[in-house]
Structure 1
Amino acid sequence: MQPERMVLRGLVILLVSAGFCYLLAKYISTPILALREAAQRFSEGELNYRIGGRFAGRKDEFSELAATFDKMTEKIELLMKLQRQLLGDVSHELRSPLARLGVALELARKQSGEAAQKSLERIGREAEALNSLIGEVLTLTKIESGIETAQTAPLDLCRMIQKIVSDADFEARGSGKSVSLKECESMTIEGSEDLLKHAVENVVRNAIKYGPQNSAIEVALRKAGSDAGNALEITVADSGSGVPEKELSNIFDPFYRVSNARERSSGGSGLGLAITRRSVLLHGGSVYASNRETGGLIVTINLPLRPDARP
């Protein structure tokens, strides 16, 4: 056999083998890529996404896996719908009696004498605390279950922080305290304004609650250090009693209370900082607390910036 014919035959065999390997690799990789895309879209909250139709005509393990995936997503979607309905029902059933209690209290205040006013005021405060607790429990449950997701949009974070500080300072003046904005770099973040506003407000109100009389709470928004990359940080510092070092990582747990002056006697449900951490995590960020050298606590929220964030 001539060498040219042998080379030609070898090239033909090589091309046929390469084509066969390509088709085989595509046949195997296509369903894997489809399953990966489906899992990604499902994890991002697209619970009604299904892939069964993309495997029509296949009778192999991949089609069986796709059918199993679709059954799983259908069950999860149903469970999420039932959970949403349950939360709505629970919210209505718990808050309706409180609303009626509020009406009854107003009537009692008008019909009773001065001797009963103090007791009625106490009942009113406890009812408001219970209503607040119900709201925070429901919010935390929605976030942790994935029902409350971060519907993101471009957000002017400095403008949001300025409004929070202005409102908080007005509230703090009633107890002889103040809230000031020490630094506010103009920048844009991709996020949910409702969740982030709630997260920062919880930290600021926590600082107001535990700050001593005639104290100042300082809030700042700035670019994070160069080692943190394209990120920002929000800091809220008070001059209260601080938190024992061994308990700093626990204050973001639901219902956790430290062993010093930050006790239930100061009010609150113990859920505010837990909601803050869950909301920040939904945005790909982190939050931590540390004691200030001069006394008090400083809470730092780190968040990723948009690529086109303004300096």
Structure 2
Amino acid sequence: MRFPKITSLYGRIFAIFWFTMFLVLMAVLSLQYFDPRKVSDVPEPHYDRLLSARDKIQSHFAGHTDIQSIIADLYRSASFQERRGDHRGGDNDFEIFITDQDGNLITAHDKRYSNVRALRNFVTNIDNTDTPKQRLYGKFMFAGPVPIRLAGNDYLFYLSVKWNRPPSFLIQLFDHPFQLLLATMLISTPLLLWLAWALSQPARRLEKAAQRVARGEFSIDPELEKGTSEFSQAGASFNQMVEAVNQMILRQQRLLSDISHELRSPLTRLGMANSLAQRKQGKSPELTRIETETQRLEAMISNLLDLSRMQVDSHNKREIQPLQSLWETLLQDTQYEAEQVGKQLSFSDIPNRSLSCYPPLLMSALENIVRNAIYYGHSRIEVSMKEIADQISIRVEDDGEGVPEDELEAIFRPFYRVSTARDSHSGGTGLGLSITESAIRQHSGTIRAGKSSLGGLLLEIHLPLQAKS
């Protein structure tokens, strides 16, 4: 018979709970068969020894007619005790009791009995005197009754033997609640540890998948759909979400491609018409303005396509790259370019760390910021990189006109143009910082704008680094 596999989280918890309760219940029910303090049948070997002791007493006192003298002689006769086959080494190892048919103890006047109260309790707990029973009282095991004939009358014979055996394991457990609690914990702890491990595995897989999505890696993991039903359902929903995001990004790129294709056709015709008009009529301010705006619109479309293409590629083409290979050559080239226009660009040492990224996107992001600083700075640009915990902090500063404080957050919006002279003659499309901000965000980073200590604009980037191996 094969039991069905429990795939539910709550099912596993209840299964372990009820299994532990079952073990405790079995221990409680079986205790009565192992606890000598409860009335039970006399085992056959002990019963045979009980009958043997009875027979020896009957045989020894067969010619006596006074029951009182028999009992007194029985307890005083050391030679008789030594002749007993079950003698255990001392007068205090056992006691013999004789009662009438109603259970009344027949005593000798010169003998004190040490276990009379225990005997009376034992007698009252026996329902049928035809079947001998036994029970442990403290350190003495009482057994009986068996019929015995002394002095011509019928009596009942009981025997009390000193019990030197240690209590069984179950009895010790139920006599000591803390030991019982410890035993229950020893049984249930391995099961609970296994349950915790079994539950943590799909949770860790789900956590790692969420971290990949946070880094911009939208990949489906079939392992998420394994494990308990609750986690497998969550994993299936997570994979569906990732697939939906991938489809949305692909549809967005396809839409932008279609739009650019449709827009470029009339732009091409407009450019050709403008060229023909200039041939016929010659150059004029109006035709020159048309040509400038046409070129600007073409540049906007190209930037939008580049942005869409890099977003898709950044999700699918991630790799581990050292920071030096990403930005060292770029900074050296821009430093040379700044010198050619009479400006000074300085940069700090690049930390010896790596990050998971799509290299063209991050290189383009930093290049855009540095070139803007060179363009708008008067004479000085500073680029500093610092490792902070598991992040890289990049600061790009210039000594230009800067950006008004109330526009610092708005400069990352697409097509936003700053109201000051910093952007009034740039001829840009207003997409550069938007593309940069998108690239940083796709790599789980942040970017902020502020006022530089040099007097111009400060752009500060934070990116998570690859954990050290």
The TM-score, its normalising length taken from structure 2, stands at 0.50
Identity of aligned residues (%): 34
2:225 and 2:450 map into 1 onto residues whose CA distance is 53
- Structure 1 residues 53 and 81, CA, compared in 2 at 3 Å: closer, same or farther? same
Contact 1:52 1:63 in 2 (8 A): yes
1:270 aligns with 2:430: yes
Name stretches of at least 5 consecutive residues in structure 2 with no aligned partner: 1-34, 36-165, 175-179
User: Which of 32, 35, 42 lines up with 2:203 in the alignment?
Assistant: 32
CA 123–201 in structure 1, closer or farther in 2 if over 3 Å, else same: farther
Query: Which residue of the partner structure matches residue 382 of structure 2?
Result: 220
Residue 50, structure 1, aligned to residue 222, structure 2: yes
Matches within 5 A, 1:133-152: 133-140=300-307, 148-149=314-315, 151-152=318-319
Deviation at 1:160, TM superposition (A): 1.3
- Specify the SS of the correspondent of 1:251: helix
**Superposed CA offset, 1:62-103 (max 9, x none):** 44434433443443333333233223323333334445555x
Q: CA deviation at 1:237?
A: 0.5
Task: Report the Cα distance in structure 2 between the residues aligned to 1:229 and 1:78, rounded to whole angstroms.
Answer: 32
Structure 1 match to 2:293: 126
Q: Does 1:237 align with 2:398?
A: yes
Aligned partner of 1:201 in structure 2 is 367
Q: Secondary structure at the match of 2:234?
A: helix
Measured against aligned partners, the alpha-carbon deviations of 1:105-150 in whole angstroms (never above 9, x if no partner) come to 79649x816832765544333222112222333445567x766447
| 1:181 corresponds to 2:345 | yes
Determine the structure 1 residue equivalent to 2:331. 161
Q: Is the CA contact (8 Å cut-off) linking 1:203 and 1:236 kept in structure 2?
A: no
Aligned amino acid, residue 54 of structure 1: K
Task: Decide whether aligned partners of structure 1 residues 19 and 161 sit closer, same or farther in structure 2, where only a CA change above 3 A counts.
Answer: same
2:75 maps to none
C-alpha contact 1:231 1:302 (8 A) present in aligned 2: yes
Q: Secondary structure of 2:347's partner?
A: strand
Match of residue 115, structure 1, among 271, 277, 282: 282
Offset of 1:199 from its aligned partner? Answer: 2.0
The Cα shift of 1:274 comes to 2.2
Q: Secondary structure at the match of 2:412?
A: coil
Q: Take 2:202 and 2:436, find their aligned partners in 1: how far apart are those partners?
A: 39
Gaps of 5+ in 1: none
Alignment length (residue pairs): 290
Query: What is the CA distance between 1:208 and its match in structure 2?
Result: 5.1
What is the alpha-carbon distance in structure 2 between the residues aligned to residue 233 and residue 85 of structure 1?
34
| Aligned equivalents of 1:301, 1:36: Cα separation in 2 | 26
Determine the C-alpha separation between the residues in 2 that align with 1:206 and 1:163: 14
Distance of aligned partners of 1:246 and 1:70 in 2 relative to their CA distance in 1, 3 Å threshold: closer
Cα deviations by residue, 1:187-216 (Å, 9 ceiling, x for unpaired): 4553444223322333344345545xxx42
Query: Aligned partners of 1:101 and 1:238: how far apart in 2?
Result: 41
CA distance in 2, matches of 1:126, 1:61: 57
Given that residues 168 and 204 in structure 1 are in contact (C-alpha distance below 8 angstroms), is that contact kept between their aligned partners in structure 2?
no
Higher relative contact order (CA 8 A, sep 6+): 1
Q: Contact between 2:381 and 2:396, CA under 8 Å: does it hold in 1?
A: yes
Native 8 Å contact 2:374 2:398 kept in 1: no
CA–CA distance in structure 2, aligned partners of residues 33 and 183 of structure 1: 40
Task: Give the partner amino acid of 2:429.
Answer: S
AA paired with 2:226?
R
Matches of 2:391 and 2:200 in 1, distance apart?
35
Q: What is aligned with 1:281?
A: 441
Distance 1:305 1:22 in 2: 34
For the 8 Å contact 1:220–1:235, the answer to whether it is kept is: yes
Q: Which residue of 2 aligns with 1:68?
A: 237
Tell whether the 8 Å contact from 1:42 to 1:49 is kept in structure 2 after alignment: no
Q: TM-score, normalised by structure 1?
A: 0.71
Native 8 Å contact 2:267 2:298 kept in 1 = yes
Report the AA paired with residue 233 of structure 1.
I
Matched residue type, 1:221? V
User: Quick check: which has more Rg, 1 or 2?
Assistant: 2
Indicate the residue corresponding to 1:95 in structure 2: 264
- 8 Å CA contact 1:158–1:185 kept in 2: the answer is no
